[in-house]
Amino acid sequence: MDNCFGLISYNNKDREFGSLSKSRPSYMLPYGGRYRLIDLTISNMVNNGIRSVALYTGEKIRSTMDHLADGKPWSLNSRFHGLFLYPPIKQSSLIERLGDIADFYSTLNFFKTLREDNALIVKSNVIFMKDLEDAYEKFVSSSSDIMLFYVRKNDEKQEFVNTNKLHLDDQGFVSNIGVNLGTEKSFNMYIDAMFIKKEVLISLVKETVEKGNANSLKDAIIKNKKSLIINSYELADPVYLINDTKSYYDANLDLLTKDIFNQMFIKNGKVMTKTKDEPSTIYRRNPDVENSLIANGCIIEGDVESSIIFRGVKIGKNAIVKNSIIMQKTEIKEGAVVINSIIDKYCVIEEDVSLVGSINQPAIIEKYGRVEKE
């Protein structure tokens, strides 16, 4: 895939994460004990041979700049390739309403300077780790203009209502993109990821800006479906669309399933991130720790079950943590109970406090928060 560059488009769904995205874009949310969501997207591109990656950051860029910097952890700091960060720029209000098309329009000159002829575009809320070499070969050999990725989903419980639904003909070419209303037991869920020829991308962006007839690249593709060759490629789970707090919570706790963890972190290439040196985790007073991911630098004295614990967390004597995500440098003091919760960085849960959410609506404590007993 050395003739392909990567584009990570901003998903603009931060408001769906409440206080978790108060000071960071949702793609910068912590994941798996020591990573950020964006680490997987960039790592997957690099593992597939992509050497030029552009991220459209959104407005809250401080944490993005701090974490990604010059792209060195992903070897994207070379002289001729690299990681490019593009915050939004002020444009005509008529252009800004065009969503990701407006972002792409602002970087047309960047596209033209790249020697690569094709692009892999992934929304920043989509995470997966897959070998895409077979898909790329089929995209190139079939002379397709675009190849859309999808996952076949069983939807008997209607968990995926209002997601994008891909309609295919008998040969696997895309006839349309609709919305899943839960009328079928299974459907092809489009995951906002695609291969596209650079010249086609530039043409769609220019035409959409000029005509103003679409609100996103996806809409522009649908508008021009009769004049484009649009192929498809099925990916196997796990693929995650992190659209809100619940999907973020589930994507983390799913890592406690061994097969999912192996597919996300081992089988399909390593996940790279900004390194932070911490000492080994200390387990004192023989705590009961079961089915959990615990990063380094922690001090564990209480019981932990089915949880994700990030670096530098302290869990006090007789404390209980279950089905929860506890982020960096948080302290859960003696006797506290935290169940079905997401605790952001640098929080303090005071002694004997009980914090209990539900699996469908986890309790959330925002960054630097302190929960005291009434």
Tell me the per-residue pLDDT of 99-123, one tens digit each, with 9 for 90 and over. Answer: 899 999 999 999 999 999 999 999 9
Intra-chain end-to-end CA distance of the chain, in Å? 58
Q: Cα 283 to the chain's mean position, in Å? A: 32
Give the span between the Cα atoms of 9 and 177, in whole angstroms: 19
Q: Identify the residue whose tokens are 């003909």.
A: 169
Give ∠ CA 311-15-252 in degrees, rounded to 5.
35
* Nearest one of 78, 83, 100, 61 to 5, comparing CA atoms: 83
User: Two tokens at 265?
Assistant: 């972190």
Kindly calculate the radius of gyration of the chain based on its CA atoms and give it in whole angstroms.
Answer: 22
Give the span between the Cα atoms of 335 and 163, in whole angstroms: 42
Q: Identify the residue whose tokens are 């705590």.
A: 287
Going by DSSP bridges, is the β-strand pair 299-300/282-283 parallel, antiparallel, or unpaired?
A: parallel
Sign of CA dihedral 247, 252, 255, 261: positive
CB 60 within 8 A of CB 91: no
pLDDT of residue 81: 85
Strand partners, 155: none
pLDDT of residue 93: 67
pLDDT of residue 97: 75
pLDDT of residue 92: 67
pLDDT of residue 153: 94
Burial of 327 (0-12, 13-18, 19+ CB in 10 A): buried
Q: What's the whole-model pTM score?
A: 0.94
Distances (CA, A) of 73 to 48, 131, 138, 319: 16, 20, 30, 36
pLDDT of residue 94: 66
Which ranges of the chain have pLDDT less than 70? 92-94
Average pLDDT of every residue of the chain: 94
Three-state SS at 53: strand
User: Two tokens at 319?
Assistant: 């404390």
Q: Which residues of 6-37 are buried (b: 16+ CB within 10 A; e: fewer)?
A: bbbbbbbbbebbeebbeebbbbbbbbbbbbbb
pLDDT of residue 373: 84
Give the span between the Cα atoms of 264 and 127, in whole angstroms: 9
CB 40 within 8 A of CB 271: yes
Cα atoms in the 13 Å half-sphere on the side-chain side of 223: 14
Three-state SS at 175: strand
Which runs of consecutive H residues, i.e. helices, occur in 107-230?
A: 108-113, 133-141, 198-211, 217-223
Enter the DSSP assignment of 313. -
Cα atoms in the 13 Å half-sphere on the side-chain side of 41: 31
Taking only the tens place, the pLDDT of each residue in 159-205 is 899 999 999 999 889 999 999 999 999 999 999 999 999 999 999 99
